[in-house]
């Protein structure tokens, strides 16, 4: 009986393996994949960077791995990554679609939506709306400065006790985003909002973990009581929260007087309904996904950057002291630092950029996918293939940095102490060279600069 079951199981695995889609001619080489599981068991998903580097030493800067049945191409090194993000940026402008992204955003919104008309329209609308509410302008800076006062006070209130700064930093960053998207801020002691932030943080970890990858590979496990189900539960709670916010906006919306991003979207939705009828790309599901993308992506990356800033300042007090001296010199009799002051603070800017390089806050960036068949480094990449850009391979490359594995602001300074630009600095990979990417990076760099520098000055 046991032998029969074993033979049957072996036969099933063999059939599944044989039915697996064969690699096309010219596809990048990679490590041998196990039947059904692919290379999942060969990788530590809590820290996959070492495994990706190990594979690269054998197969080169462009190679393939299998996540279950799903083929993925890993791209490492500046030359190859630039080819994906810049030289052939439009060819690789798509986003891979999988079960997790479908659950989280229904493949809508700004971050994981497939490349196409709907995504273009929402990106254009979002860029225009955020600008109209001050992102990248002086009015945005005023929002940051106002929130910064609350943040500094929260730190001062906890000055004589041990506390985890993650929660207040996350709350501060999210409040600045919420002021534009929701039209309000939340008190640091608001337990219901803290719960939402915790769920978002938890999902960011779960969505890139082993069980999420297993679910992407084998959809049938959705019915099993495994850790990936927590992602679904968290999404339901977060979207219920967003739904309540949207309903409140519907009830209080004054036509022609939008207060925030949600109001603008609701007005655009009504306009599209009147103009396009059933052909419209604007709908409430897209609204929820866009709001979630702005809220989650902006909060997580910026909070992580600020946390790393604090950690490095604690670990390297001599660097903190140099920052403090430069801040004091520029600060003068001002009430607070302004973003334009950064031009007179090359060392401080170098420190912040070195934090993002050395910590590599988003080491694998955002996954991409070619919208058509394309060639990369002489290899054939079929449309829809998952593309993983390993940004850490550039940030620690000894051919581009004076001190690749050290935390040293001199990586961004010349011999005269002036800030230098380097193409090997890739803190994010949303789409280097695109207007939306440049705008987003500038906006969140301003946020990091102002919050961190005013913290250093006041604490």
**For the chain, what's the residue count?**
459
Q: How far apart are CA 358 and CA 355, in angstroms?
A: 5
Asked if residues 55 and 63 have their Cβ atoms less than 8 Å apart, the reply is yes
Residue 147: how many CB atoms within 10 A of its CB? 22
Q: pLDDT tens-digit profile of 386-415?
A: 999 999 999 999 999 999 999 999 999 999
| Portion of the chain with pLDDT greater than 70, in percent | 85
Task: Determine the pLDDT at residue 403.
Answer: 96
Above pLDDT 90, what percent of the chain? 32
d(C-alpha 411, C-alpha 422), whole Å: 9
Q: Coil, strand, or helix at residue 391? A: coil
Tokens representing residue 317 in the block? 């007090």
- What span, in angstroms and rounded, lies between the C-alpha atoms of 49 and 327? 36
CA 324, 327, 331, 335 dihedral sign is negative
Q: Tell me if residue 108 falls in helix, strand or coil.
A: coil
Q: Domain map of the chain by residue range?
A: 2-458
Q: What is the pLDDT of residue 446?
A: 56
3-state secondary structure of 354: helix
Is residue 165 a contact partner of residue 155, using CB atoms and an 8 Å limit? yes
The mean-pLDDT minimum among 202-211, 313-322, 353-362 falls in 202-211
Residue 441 predicted with pLDDT over 70: no
| CA distances to 22, 64, 74, 168 from 50, in Å | 28, 16, 13, 32
Query: For residue 244, what are the contacts with CB-CB under 8 A and spacing of at least 6?
Result: none
Domain boundaries 2-458, corresponding CATH code: 1.10.630.10
pLDDT band at 19 (very low <50, low <70, confident <90, very high): very low
Question: Structure tokens of 409?
Answer: 């602001």
Measure the CA–CA gap between 25 and 19, rounded to whole angstroms.
17
pLDDT tens-digit profile of 244-287? 999 999 999 998 899 999 999 999 988 888 776 656 688 888 99
- Give me the sign of the Cα torsion angle 412, 415, 417, 421: negative
> What is residue 22's DSSP assignment?
P
For residue 7, the model assigns a pLDDT of 52
Q: Which of 43-57, 115-129, 252-266 has the highest mean pLDDT?
A: 252-266
| DSSP characters over 320-338 | HHHHHHHHHHHHTT-SS--
pLDDT of 180 higher than 80: yes
- The residue whose two tokens read 């409140």 is 248
Q: What is the pLDDT of residues 361-376, one digit of tens each?
A: 888 888 899 999 999 9
Bridge partners (DSSP) listed for residue 277: none
Q: Are strands 70-76 and 386-390 parallel, antiparallel or unpaired?
A: parallel
Alpha helices in 38-111 (DSSP H): 49-59, 78-82, 99-105
The Cβ of residue 125 has, within 10 Å, a number of other Cβ atoms equal to: 19
Task: State whether residue 60 is helix, strand or coil.
Answer: coil
Q: What is the reported pTM?
A: 0.84
Q: How far is CA 190 from CA 151, 167, 303, in A?
A: 14, 11, 18
């Amino acid at each position: 009986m046991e032998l029969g079951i074993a033979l049957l199981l072996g036969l099933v695995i063999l059939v599944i393996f044989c039915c697996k889609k064969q690699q096309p001619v010219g596809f990048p080489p990679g490590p041998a994949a196990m039947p059904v599981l692919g290379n999942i068991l060969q990788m530590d998903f809590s820290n996959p960077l070492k495994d990706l580097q190990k594979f690269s030493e054998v197969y080169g800067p462009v190679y393939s791995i299998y996540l279950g049945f799903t083929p993925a191409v890993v791209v490492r090194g500046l030359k190859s990554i630039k080819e994906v993000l810049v030289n052939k940026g439009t060819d690789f402008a798509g986003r891979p679609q999988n079960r997790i992204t479908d659950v989280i955003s229904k493949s809508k919104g700004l971050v994981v939506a497939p490349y196409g008309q709907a995504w273009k329209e929402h990106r254009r609308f979002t860029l225009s709306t955020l600008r109209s509410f001050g992102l990248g302008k002086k009015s945005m800076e005023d929002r940051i400065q106002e929130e910064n006062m609350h943040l500094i006070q929260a730190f001062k209130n906890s000055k004589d006790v041990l506390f985890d700064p993650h929660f207040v930093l996350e709350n501060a960053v999210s409040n600045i985003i919420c002021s534009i998207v929701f039209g309000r801020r939340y008190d640091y002691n608001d337990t219901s909002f803290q719960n939402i932030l915790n769920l978002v943080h938890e999902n960011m970890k779960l969505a890139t973990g082993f069980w999420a990858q297993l679910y992407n590979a084998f959809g049938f496990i959705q019915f099993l009581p495994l850790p990936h189900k927590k992602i679904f539960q968290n999404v339901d709670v977060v979207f219920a929260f967003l739904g309540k916010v949207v309903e409140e906006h519907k009830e209080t919306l004054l036509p022609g007087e939008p207060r925030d991003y949600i109001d603008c979207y609701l007005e655009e939705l009504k306009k599209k309904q009147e103009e396009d009828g059933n052909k419209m790309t604007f709908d409430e599901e897209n609204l929820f996904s866009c709001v979630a993308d702005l809220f989650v992506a902006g909060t997580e990356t910026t909070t992580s950057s600020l946390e790393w800033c604090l950690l490095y300042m604690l670990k390297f007090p001599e660097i903190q002291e140099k920052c403090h001296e430069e801040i004091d010199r520029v600060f003068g009799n001002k009430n607070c630092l302004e973003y334009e002051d950064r031009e007179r603070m090359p060392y401080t800017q170098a420190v912040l950029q070195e934090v993002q390089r050395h910590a590599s806050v988003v080491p694998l960036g955002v996954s991409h996918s070619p919208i058509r068949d394309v060639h990369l480094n002489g290899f054939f990449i079929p449309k829809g293939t998952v593309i993983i850009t390993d940004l850490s391979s550039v940030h620690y490359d000894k051919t581009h940095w004076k001190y690749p594995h050290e935390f040293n602001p001199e990586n961004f300074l010349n011999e005269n102490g002036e800030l230098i630009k380097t193409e090997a600095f890739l803190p994010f990979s949303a789409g280097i060279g695109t207007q939306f990417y440049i705008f987003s990076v500038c906006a969140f760099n301003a946020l990091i600069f102002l919050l961190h520098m005013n913290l250093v000055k006041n604490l």
